[in-house]
Amino acid sequence: MTLIDGKKIAADLKSEIAREVDGIIANGGKRPHLAAILVGHDGGSETYVANKVKACEACGFKSTLIRFEDDVTEDTLLAAIDSLNKNTDVDGFIVQLPLPRHIDEQRVIEAIDYRKDVDGFHPVNVGRMSIGLPCFVSATPAGILELLARYEIPTRGARCVVLGRSNIVGKPVANLLMQKSNPGNATVTVCHSATPDIKEICREADIIIAALGVPGFVKADMVKPGATIIDVGTTRVPDASRPSGFRLSGDVDFENVAPLCSYISPVPGGVGPMTIASLMKNTLAAARHEIYSLD
């Protein structure tokens, strides 16, 4: 069994990006600039955004954090987005999700200029991704594909089972894995809350991508010996032995499943760091206008 070291691959990726930024600056270019909007004080979102700001520093990017309280109005949020759309110094920006219930998340996503949508959540980017056109691919699926590529895990002709159908992970990763590309060319099955016989479907899988947010869902009797497992779960479960009072739990019963696998990604230290590194990659691409021109 090989443990997939997302922390190391993410660190490698960020160093590669930092070297490229050094080159841009040495040639008199502009420092890439990522902005983030954070609404409220959700613990998970606070951590993600703090890590994104830290990653910007590691990559040599400028970062701007714009904060609003939970009771921010949708109009105020849309005005902040409009201002970032127009700010020529900002190459890309994200609005950390989830948003408070009184705000229409989809309206917020669609207000972002798709040419600055480094999260790849705007329907233009989602649509272009689904037909294989250049676009910003959302960071978690991009990070998963990067792990598969860097560990040279074959996907061509592989049976992949994606557990979960979220817009952020399940749907896009399923889409990318079935495309005529490498990684890709897989035979993909997406399972969700209405799928019967999930255990039998998983047992056929060469690769399982677990993204349901149910701690320990994937058990040893659901896994074919030699399978690859990518665990995208990051549920906070209470743990009195930790100073924070919680630990992150993946969607896989790691202890019992890991010995069966050829490759498995741990939680934490697997997909999480890769998500942030992929966001940095998208921001560099935005700064270089590699995908879209802003004229």
Residues in touch with ligand GUN (CB under 6 A) = 94-97, 119, 139-140, 168, 275
Parallel, antiparallel or unpaired: strands 235-238 and 246-249 = antiparallel
Q: What is the DSSP letter of 30?
A: P
CB nearer ligand GUN, residue 155 or residue 275: 275
Residue positions counted in the chain: 295
CB nearer ligand GUN, residue 3 or residue 97: 97
CB nearer ligand GUN, residue 186 or residue 271: 271
Secondary element (H or E) of residue 228: strand 228-231
Q: Is 116 a catalytic residue?
A: no
User: Which residue is listed with tokens 């592989």?
Assistant: 158
Q: What is the torsion angle, in degrees rounded to the nearest 10, for the CA atoms of residue 89, residue 71, residue 54 and residue 60?
A: 0
The residue number with the shortest CB distance to ligand GUN is 97
Q: Is 119 a catalytic residue?
A: yes
Please list the alpha-helical segments (H only) found in the chain: 6-26, 43-59, 74-86, 105-111, 123-130, 139-150, 170-178, 198-203, 254-257, 271-287
Catalytic residue chosen out of the listed positions 52, 116, 171, 281: 52
Catalytic residue chosen out of the listed positions 5, 14, 91, 96: 96
Please, what is the minimum distance in Å from the beta carbon of residue 273 to ligand GUN?
13
Catalytic residue chosen out of the listed positions 5, 91, 119, 206: 119
| 3 state DSSP class of 235 | strand
CB nearer ligand GUN, residue 94 or residue 148: 94
Please, what is the minimum distance in Å from the beta carbon of residue 278 to ligand GUN?
9
Q: Is 251 a catalytic residue?
A: no
Please, what is the minimum distance in Å from the beta carbon of residue 138 to ligand GUN?
6
Query: Active-site residues: which are they?
Result: 52, 96, 119
